[in-house]
């Protein structure tokens, strides 16, 4: 899978855009305020390419695939968190399974130990069946 990389000149130009949170050769991260504007305009029916152009992004630099990807990431972020964040991820602790399920760390570890014990017992049974068939 080929990925369009930004040149040094493109990176320098993108950094000057006030809507850019950060940029690397392969990644463009946008500000929270821009994501909010983009989402609002997109909901009103504006095309992603036009929204980006209106806010100082060149479609030739960004590329069609990245335009689609930006749109998808912004929609997914809103669907997942109900709001937008600077850059890529929300600040603070991870929203992993423990945070979602409400388990405390101790009960999560106890569950993990129990699961691993079950795996060990299963592997013992498999190896004993394999040895007895010889």
The yes-or-no verdict on residue 101 having pLDDT over 70 is no
Task: Give CA–CA dist 105/133, Å, rounded.
Answer: 43
100, 94 Cβ separation under 8 angstroms: no
Is 64 inside a domain boundary? yes
**Token pair listed for 41:** 């305009």
How many domains is the chain partitioned into structurally? 2
Same structural domain, 54 and 114: no
Q: What angle do CA 47, 49, 50 make, to 5 degrees?
A: 65
Is 35 inside a domain boundary? yes
- Show the domain range for 102: 97-132
Same structural domain, 17 and 76: yes
Is 34 inside a domain boundary? yes
Residue bearing tokens 């695939």: 65
Is 61 inside a domain boundary? yes
Same structural domain, 66 and 13: yes
Single pTM value for the model: 0.63
Is 88 inside a domain boundary? no
Residue bearing tokens 């130009």: 13
The yes-or-no verdict on residue 53 having pLDDT over 80 is yes
pLDDT in tens, 30-42: 999 999 999 999 9
Same structural domain, 15 and 56: yes
Same structural domain, 75 and 101: no
Is 111 inside a domain boundary? yes
Is 3 inside a domain boundary? no
Same structural domain, 111 and 46: no
Same structural domain, 74 and 17: yes
The yes-or-no verdict on residue 98 having pLDDT over 50 is no
């Amino acid at each position: 899978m080929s990925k369009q990389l930004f040149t040094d000149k493109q990176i320098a130009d993108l950094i000057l855009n006030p809507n850019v949170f950060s940029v690397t050769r392969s990644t463009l991260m946008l500000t929270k305020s821009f994501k909010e504007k983009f989402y609002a305009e997109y909901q009103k029916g504006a095309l992603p390419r036009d929204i980006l152009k209106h806010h100082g992004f060149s479609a030739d630099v960004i590329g069609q695939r990245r335009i689609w990807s930006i749109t998808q990431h912004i929609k997914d972020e809103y669907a997942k968190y109900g709001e937008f964040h600077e850059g890529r991820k929300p600040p603070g602790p991870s929203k992993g399974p423990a945070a979602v399920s409400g388990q405390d760390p101790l009960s999560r570890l106890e569950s993990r130990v129990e699961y691993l014990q079950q795996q060990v017992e299963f592997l013992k049974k498999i190896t004993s069946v394999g040895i007895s068939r010889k």
